[in-house]
Amino acid sequence: MIFQSLFCACAVGLQFWLYGATLYLSRPTNPIWGNGSLVAFHNLLAQPSMANSGVPDILYAAFGFTFVTATAMILAGAMLERGRLWPSMLFLLCWTTFVYYLLAYWEWNPEGWLYKLGLYDFAGSGPVHIASGFSALAWSLMLGKRTPDGVTPMKKGLLHPKPHDPLLMCLGTILIWFGWFAFNGGSTANLSLRSIYVVVNTNFAACGGGLTWALLDYAYTKKFSLVGFCSGIISGLVGITPAAGFIMVYVAPLVGVLTATVCFYTVKYKHLIGVDDGLDIFAIHGVGGYVGDILTGIFAAKFVPALDGVSGASYDGGWWDHHWRQLGLQLAGATTCAAWSFFVSCLLLFVIDRIPGCHIRVSEAEELRGLDMAYLEDAPWEEGGDDGARLIVHEGESMAGGSGSPAAVSRTSGIQKADRGEGGDVEMAHVNAGKRSEGQEKHGKE
């Protein structure tokens, strides 16, 4: 997963330079898609951007490629433990072309039809979170469930492994929490009282989401969960993304609480739809983004956008200011993003899967062996170096084997059997220990 994320960042970054930027930053007159006037950043330099006349196009574009890269990396987690690498990258490049850039144009470009409709989406709930979440649902559905290996515990028909390293997950959550301040705060496109207000809203929503999920976990299990706490923080951040620049600071914690609650129960009862979304991308990003859009329509206050010194009275607020129509617009926008993302993703995956050599799922043998060993030369638990050394995990302890190692190792938890062949090599029928380390599975505790 780490390799694919880096691969994805590089490939999507070059795609953005080549034609991605022009698909949503150009200035055509149609409401659907951009033109080719900015291909390969041609003519993209010092002209005032569409976000703020004081921000040049090149700077706004630099901010934009962080969004598309993060979105593609979120979606990439849906292939967890069973998706083939090359077809996955082909899908992600097609997905950014036909899903992300269209939605970004619709919402952020002044000519986009959702922009003109009056949808409030401050920092990209639709193109980023709803799109990646509902597309992850489609990808998980098209891939099918992971293959049971006889070792990893099952819960209600789905694999339910322990997270590989909760401490690393906590470190990642801290980094992304800090990064979200720039993600949201920078979306004002200027340094103003509104941008500071946005950062404050973002932090309070994350706090509310984290505490809510942790307490819900404790209510059901009488124990706390690091996975749950981090999931709650991310849920709060997702929920505040569309709302941060529109709602008052008094209700920001409530947005985090409500979003985390809905996401928690989506994770808890995800088995009802039978889709194996191991990282809960749909539950946290898809559902969380949808909830955030709705809450924006309820709590938006027209004075908050005016804090940027530019917007003035151009926003009418939401239900908070008795602008009842806004909630309907939010529902329409969120549903459009969800439906487009899901159905286009299904179509793209269906077509790619039927291209010779582009089957989207690995073989059962590769899945049971682990994608790290199928794709990575330097997997730390792969068969060893030139001297024939091997690393075998047995009952939680590592045993180095080689041409002079013991003839056989049997186990009762993880590696089913390892036998030495005629040439002295250790052959392993199924290597299950450590193969779950590719993904850190977020889940709600029963």
pLDDT tens readout for residues 28-53: 878 888 888 899 999 888 888 888 87
Cα torsion 329, 330, 335, 336 to 10°: value is 60
The CATH number assigned to the domain holding 291 equals: 1.10.3430.10
**412 and 345 within one domain:** no
Q: What is the mean pLDDT of residues 5-12?
A: 91
Residue 371 reports pLDDT greater than 80: yes
Query: Strand (E) positions, 142-257?
Result: 154-155, 158-159
Flag whether 254 is in a domain: yes
Flag whether 51 is in a domain: yes
**274 and 170 within one domain:** yes
Flag whether 375 is in a domain: no
Lowest mean pLDDT among 74-83, 287-296, 437-446: 437-446
Lowest mean pLDDT among 61-75, 88-102, 279-293, 383-397: 383-397
Flag whether 440 is in a domain: no
**316 and 195 within one domain:** yes
Number of compact structural domains in the chain: 2
Write down the pLDDT at residue 369.
81
**What band does 160 get if pLDDT is binned at 50, 70 and 90?**
low
**What band does 118 get if pLDDT is binned at 50, 70 and 90?**
very high
**What band does 155 get if pLDDT is binned at 50, 70 and 90?**
low
Flag whether 377 is in a domain: no
What are the C-alpha distances in Å from 355 to residues 4, 6, 93? Answer: 21, 25, 16
**145 and 16 within one domain:** yes
Residue 426 reports pLDDT greater than 50: no
Please tell me whether residue 155 adopts helix, strand or coil conformation.
strand
**228 and 88 within one domain:** yes
**60 and 131 within one domain:** yes
For residues 27 and 117, what is the distance between their CA atoms, to the nearest angstrom?
18
Q: Helix-strand-coil percent breakdown of the chain, rounded to 5?
A: 60, 5, 35
**316 and 414 within one domain:** no
**120 and 67 within one domain:** yes
What are the C-alpha distances in Å from 190 to residues 52, 107, 187? Answer: 7, 19, 8
332, 353, 374: which is the final residue of a domain?
353
Instruction: Supply the pTM of this predicted model.
Output: 0.83
Flag whether 119 is in a domain: yes
- Residue pair 204/253 in contact (Cβ under 8 Å)? The answer is yes
Q: Which two tokens stand for residue 108?
A: 């952020």
**205 and 133 within one domain:** yes
**409 and 344 within one domain:** no
Residue 143 reports pLDDT greater than 50: yes
Q: 24 exposed, middle or buried (CB, 10 Å; 0-12, 13-18, 19+)?
A: buried
**326 and 257 within one domain:** yes
Flag whether 371 is in a domain: no
Write down the pLDDT at residue 156.
64
Flag whether 308 is in a domain: yes
**72 and 165 within one domain:** yes
Residue 396 reports pLDDT greater than 90: no
pLDDT in tens, 194-210: 999 999 999 999 999 99
> Domain residues for 122?
2-353
